[in-house]
Amino acid sequence: MGRTLAVALATEGCRVAICDINEQTMAETVAACADAGASVLVSTHVCDVADEAALERFRDELLAAHEADHIDLLFNNAGIGGGGSMVEPEREAWDRTFNICWGGVYLGTRVFLPLLMKSESAHIINTSSVNGFWASMGPAHPHTAYSAAKFAVKGFTEALVQDLRHNAPNVQAHVVMPGHIGTGIAVNSALARGVDETEMAEYNERGAAFRNEAPMTAESAADVILDGVREGRWRILVGEDAHILDMAVRSDPENAYENDFVESMKSQGVLDRIMAVLDD
């Protein structure tokens, strides 16, 4: 989604600065912007969003590259999966997932908020997930690190909405909660965790299924997100599955983690694709 957001913004005339731990994927994003007809500056910056010093370098590089003194849009979008269980996996995987998915949002906001406050009208767009209101992928798939992080992102953004209205009314906050979107998160998560090349074949196969069997493309998701920001909506659900799951959890929270709930969601097509990928 980060790539498609960058392409959409660049083609609309926004100068864009992107960060990633992988220079190759950033180069591919720059090429995608050019292929789409964008003629604006798209700068790239190697950065681990879980590292505050790295984000500060990114900020300083951005200001120099774009000869700017402020920014108008901040997308805290970086995320990986992994560290599903508090019981089984090593702590390193759990902490890495949490520190990127939550720490990247918190630190990104901390580092860039002063630049947003210098804008006449600015927006912080934080990517949570349906796992920010439903902490599960089904009873057989523990999902604690990712879900805990995405719940934190949702709660932080909701609190930030009120905080900014009082202390920085020129800045708006938005929380994005996508369902199953056709992205490369499965493969990218493995790369971010340093999975050995001999294991990548399995991740590549699962990643392709996750991307190709998704009910919504990353391009369509980017359109929904940007439309939500333009319309000033602080809560942006992405995908029909996200809307259905949101209503179901809020209507029956006590039973949201029971097998009957999961079966009901699968019968409505909400979890059938992603569960099939997980169970392969």
- Report the CATH number that the domain containing residue 124 is assigned in CATH: 3.40.50.720
Over range 26-43, report the average pLDDT: 97
Tokens of 110: 């901390």
Distance CA 20, CA 242 (A): 27
The confidence score (pLDDT) of residue 202 equals 67
Report the domain count for the chain.
1
Q: Determine the Cα angle at 82 with ends 80 and 87, to 5°.
A: 150
The pLDDT confidence band at residue 140, using thresholds 50, 70 and 90, is confident
The confidence score (pLDDT) of residue 217 equals 95
239: pLDDT strictly greater than 80: yes
The confidence score (pLDDT) of residue 194 equals 66
Tokens of 149: 């992080």
Over range 207-228, report the average pLDDT: 87
258 three-state secondary structure:
coil
Q: Which of 219, 222, 120 is nearest to 170 (CA)?
A: 120
Give a yes or no: residue 135 inside a domain: yes
Residue indicated by tokens 């909400």: 270
% of the chain at pLDDT higher than 90 = 78
71: pLDDT strictly greater than 70: yes
The confidence score (pLDDT) of residue 271 equals 86
The confidence score (pLDDT) of residue 174 equals 98
The pLDDT confidence band at residue 82, using thresholds 50, 70 and 90, is confident
The confidence score (pLDDT) of residue 277 equals 63
Residue 43 backbone phi and psi in degrees, to 5:
-95, 150
Residue in 106, 146, 203, 257 annotated catalytic: 146
The confidence score (pLDDT) of residue 272 equals 77
Residue indicated by tokens 């949702």: 154
The confidence score (pLDDT) of residue 275 equals 67
To the query of whether residue 106 is one of the catalytic residues in this protein, the response is no
Sign of the four-CA dihedral 117, 121, 126, 130: positive
The confidence score (pLDDT) of residue 206 equals 66
Give a yes or no: residue 27 inside a domain: yes
Burial track 179-205 (b if 16+ CB lie within 10 A, e otherwise): bbbbbbbbbbbbbbbeeeeeeeeebee
The confidence score (pLDDT) of residue 87 equals 92
The confidence score (pLDDT) of residue 192 equals 64
The pLDDT confidence band at residue 54, using thresholds 50, 70 and 90, is very high
% of the chain at pLDDT higher than 70 = 90
Sign of the four-CA dihedral 90, 96, 101, 103: positive
Distance CA 261, CA 127 (A): 25
Question: 48 is in which domain, residue-wise?
Answer: 2-240
Over range 189-206, report the average pLDDT: 66
280: pLDDT strictly greater than 60: no
Distance CA 269, CA 257 (A): 17
What would the pLDDT profile of 141-196 be if each residue is shown by its tens digit?
889 999 999 999 999 999 999 999 999 999 999 999 999 998 877 666 666 666 66
Mean of the per-residue pLDDT values of the chain: 92
pTM: 0.92
Say if residues 184 and 242 touch (Cβ distance below 8 Å).
no
Distance CA 21, CA 121 (A): 29
Give a yes or no: residue 261 inside a domain: no
Give a yes or no: residue 139 inside a domain: yes
The confidence score (pLDDT) of residue 186 equals 65
Distance CA 160, CA 128 (A): 14
Q: How many CB atoms lie within 10 A of CB 140?
A: 10
Give a yes or no: residue 90 inside a domain: yes
